[in-house]
Chains A and B, each alone.
Chain A
């Protein structure tokens, strides 16, 4: 039997006349590493905010069966049920990485060994370094160390590799993979299709606020007849700002990097699976 850590049921979110999340339903279970992909403006960040409880849906329900009902959002006093690392995170300047973790541990009502926590994400050498002196990649790693404070059953990362060099991006994906276990699920939004294909158990393609595809990387390739996740993505994901968000693989040989943000090019969409 698997344990659901978060469930969405027919969730809708809009900003004025713009629908950002439109009738999404899913369940994420402990032990899963779920990648959320989609073009810019697809609603990924809003979707992640729903998973964390930071944002409430206009309609539909979000539930976290693995934790106390009040632990998401303003869940004072409860165990930490959800952890979140926002896009381009930064921490209050003037504090070391160790002090930052200790502060968050005190909020979670637990203790932390900063040395061990930082070593787990490959940041042991920066324990006493001030956060403003950390590189972008090191700040993300500190953020990942932070999400583990309080041992939450659901971890949500918003584009943790954006703007990082390939080596650091690989390290972050490997670290993300390592923190998933039988009691914890991780959801990561990313444009790095190569990276997520390598580590994700399950990939959700979001476009125009709707879930277009949901399955394992192999399932997605099979469903779309594509050779790679990138091509599967190109087959189903559209953006309101582009006729097509990813060129076919053959065209991408014309100087388009394979890992470039997928909304940089434009051609016609092919199919929609959902």
Chain B
């Protein structure tokens, strides 16, 4: 049997779990309700997709880690708690196959909720905005759905990184209480903690020319910087005179958080 088939079996199990667990559906519904409510509140306001993107940026930045936590944190820990992990270990499945299967399955759930919520928010903006865009901008200035599509795509990358971090916590924790505590701590650290630390370094004069790189270290800052640089700035008539962030460093930062977290989960899930 191929590696893909075994990983596929784990993915299938995670997806079925997501759609059958009411508490997870409630978390997803709450996320969607908040995002759509914010978008709905912005209907009629001038600014179009750029405005909507900026309205949702902070909400998504904070709520995606909360959503990922709700969907992911009990995944591996739950199997361990039931001793089902010991059963799984007697099957010819590797740590990487199992962890990647869990991560992909749960991440599909997170991505689906983020994508659906933002799609509804974007649709609201396109149907209800008094100044709905009548053209498509691909690389030059101008408000268009492309701004929001880029924002949604970057939100997906952010969600993948944060889901990986929570997967690592779920794999490394030895008790459910520990998983809960570590998961909540990571949500706080990812959403605001590292940003606060960077602000502290800035105010202390400890950051010279390395701010762009430093912002890439924080998943939230990396996401924010990418949205400003790749989604919002191209649509502005007068882009910011200095770059807010380095897209390359920010992308590397998100990729790093994702791959390192999955690596940690693979090493920690069983020894």
Question: Which residues of chain A in 65-90 are interfacial with respect to chain B, using CB atoms and an 8 Å cutoff?
Answer: 71-80, 82-90
Which of B88-96, B118-126, B183-191 participates in binding chain A? B88-96
Any B CB within 8 A of the CB of A95: yes
- Stretch among A18-26, A106-114, A224-232, A255-263 lining the B interface: A106-114
Q: Which of B82, B90, B92, B270 contacts A91 (CB 8 A)?
A: B82
Say whether chain A's binding surface is mostly helix, strand, loop, or mixed. Answer: loop
Q: How far is the CA of A107 from the CA of B11 in the complex (A)?
A: 11
Residues of B within 8 A of A52 (CB): 86, 89-90
Number of interface residues of B (CB under 8 A): 31
B3, A95: Cβ atoms closer than 8 Å: no
Q: How many of A's residues come within 8 Å of B, CB to CB?
A: 38
Interface contact B9-A91, CB-CB below 8 Å: no
Given contacts A106-B6, A106-B9, contact A74 B17 (CB under 8 A): no
Residues in B neighbouring A95, C-beta threshold 8 A: 13, 16, 20
Residue pair B83, A76 in contact (C-beta under 8 Å) = no
A-B contact pairs, 27 of them (CB 8 A): A52-B90, A53-B89, A53-B90, A54-B89, A54-B270, A71-B92, A73-B89, A74-B94, A76-B6, A77-B1, A80-B90, A80-B91, A80-B92, A83-B90, A84-B90, A89-B84, A90-B83, A92-B17, A92-B84, A94-B16, A94-B17, A104-B91, A106-B9, A108-B92, A109-B1, A146-B87, A150-B91
Other A-B contacts than A53-B90, A79-B92, A146-B87, 20 sampled, CB-CB below 8 A, are A74-B94, A76-B93, A76-B97, A77-B1, A77-B3, A77-B92, A77-B94, A82-B90, A84-B86, A84-B87, A84-B89, A87-B83, A88-B83, A92-B17, A94-B20, A95-B16, A106-B8, A107-B6, A107-B91, A109-B5
